[in-house]
């Protein structure tokens, strides 16, 4: 069995379970992880928070295809993922703003593992599989749960992180807009106790940080993008072997400005 499943018995979670808007939270831990090139001595993955839907899709996750021309963006939720996706897609697609406006980011950059946490009409793994190549893939999966083929192929990957306080507040408002019915205080206490989807936050960030010997991964931060966007764009262009003129880059900076992304 590739994964271990345990119920959440934390009294705070049990007391406030009805406020989550979901009835089937569960902790999932990967049991097969010797192939992960992590530098932490005697590393054992922690369990992460999902729903029981994980059991339905675990084989699709394990066997998900990964291609050499894939581009992956990986993050803990609400870490600047959408912002990063838009930047990466445009840089890799010759700054085709018209195409970006014509098709939603959800289509251009499918969310690989959303079926693990929310019911979907079609398996998100199947949708990603059928996406025309070169594919752009978004995921919030922790290191220990990436598809087996990821480590064999090692596609170009951007990992984006963000200050946990900002993540927690943003995550509350995001969850409130989808399913969460509780107070911010209850949500934040639950976040700290690692009972929000994809938690624990710190394990996610630290474990990816310990992969920094992997030359297929470029590490960015939300704060770096907010304060030094041109520097980040140059770094990403270099990572993907792309070069653009100063006027072209100015258009990209404008498109990706914090105000522009917030307004859209």
DSSP state of 130: T
Confidence of residue 22 (pLDDT cuts 50, 70, 90): low
CA angle, 203 then 206 then 211, to 5°: 125
Give the model's pLDDT for residue 263. 44
> What is the CB neighbour count within 10 angstroms for residue 102?
10
The CATH label, of 3.40.190.10, 3.30.390.50, 3.40.50.300, 3.90.1520.10, for the domain at 3-263 is 3.40.50.300
Q: Where are the alpha helices (DSSP H) in the chain?
A: 11-15, 53-62, 81-92, 97-102, 105-108, 124-129, 148-153, 164-176, 184-192, 201-209, 222-227, 229-239, 246-256, 258-263
- Helices 81-92 and 246-256: crossing angle in degrees, nearest 10, is 150
- Flag whether pLDDT at 18 surpasses 80: no
Mean pLDDT of 125-152: 98
Beta bridge partners of 217: 157
- Flag whether pLDDT at 175 surpasses 50: yes
Beta bridge partners of 145: none
> Is 35 noted as a catalytic residue in this protein?
no
Q: For residue range 4-17, what is the model confidence (pLDDT) as tens digits?
A: 999 998 887 877 77
Question: What's the pTM value of the predicted model, to 2 decimals?
Answer: 0.94
Sequence spans of domains, the chain: 3-263
Q: Which two tokens stand for residue 144?
A: 């220990």
Q: Which has more pLDDT, 14 or 2? A: 2
CA 52/CA 24 separation, integer angstroms: 6
161 exposed, middle or buried (CB, 10 Å; 0-12, 13-18, 19+)? Answer: buried
Q: Which two tokens stand for residue 103?
A: 């098709």
Residue in 140, 159, 195, 204 annotated catalytic: 140
Separation in Å, CA 75 to CA 18, 55, 222, 238: 27, 22, 11, 21
Beta bridge partners of 136: 71
Q: Which has more pLDDT, 160 or 176? A: 160
- Flag whether pLDDT at 20 surpasses 70: no
Phi/psi region, residue 114 (left: phi>0; alpha: psi -120 to 50; beta: rest), is alpha
Confidence of residue 261 (pLDDT cuts 50, 70, 90): low
């Amino acid at each position: 069995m590739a994964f271990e499943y345990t119920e959440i018995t934390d009294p705070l979670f049990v007391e406030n379970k009805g406020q989550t808007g979901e009835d089937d939270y569960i902790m999932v831990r990967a049991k097969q992880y010797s192939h992960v090139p992590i530098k932490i001595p005697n590393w054992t993955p922690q369990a992460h928070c999902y729903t029981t839907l994980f059991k339905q899709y675990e084989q699709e996750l394990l066997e998900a295809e990964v291609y050499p021309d894939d581009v992956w963006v990986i993050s803990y939720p609400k870490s600047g993922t959408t912002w990063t996706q838009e930047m990466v897609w445009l840089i890799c697609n010759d700054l085709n703003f018209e195409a970006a406006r014509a098709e939603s980011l959800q289509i251009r950059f499918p969310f690989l593992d959303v079926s693990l946490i929310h019911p979907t009409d079609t398996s998100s793994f199947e949708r990603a599989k059928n996406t025309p190549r070169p594919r752009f893939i978004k995921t919030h999966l922790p290191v220990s749960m990436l598809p087996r083929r990821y480590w064999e192929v090692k596609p170009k990957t951007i990992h984006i992180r963000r200050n946990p306080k900002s993540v927690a507040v943003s995550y509350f408002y995001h969850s409130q807009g989808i399913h969460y019915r509780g107070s911010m205080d209850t949500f934040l206490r639950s976040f700290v106790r690692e009972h929000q989807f994809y938690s624990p936050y710190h394990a996610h960030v630290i474990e990816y940080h310990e992969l920094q010997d992997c030359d297929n991964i470029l590490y960015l931060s939300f704060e770096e993008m907010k304060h030094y966007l041109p520097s980040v764009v140059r770094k990403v262009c270099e990572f993907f072997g792309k070069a653009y003129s100063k006027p072209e880059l100015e258009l990209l900076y404008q498109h990706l400005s914090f105000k522009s992304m917030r307004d859209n």
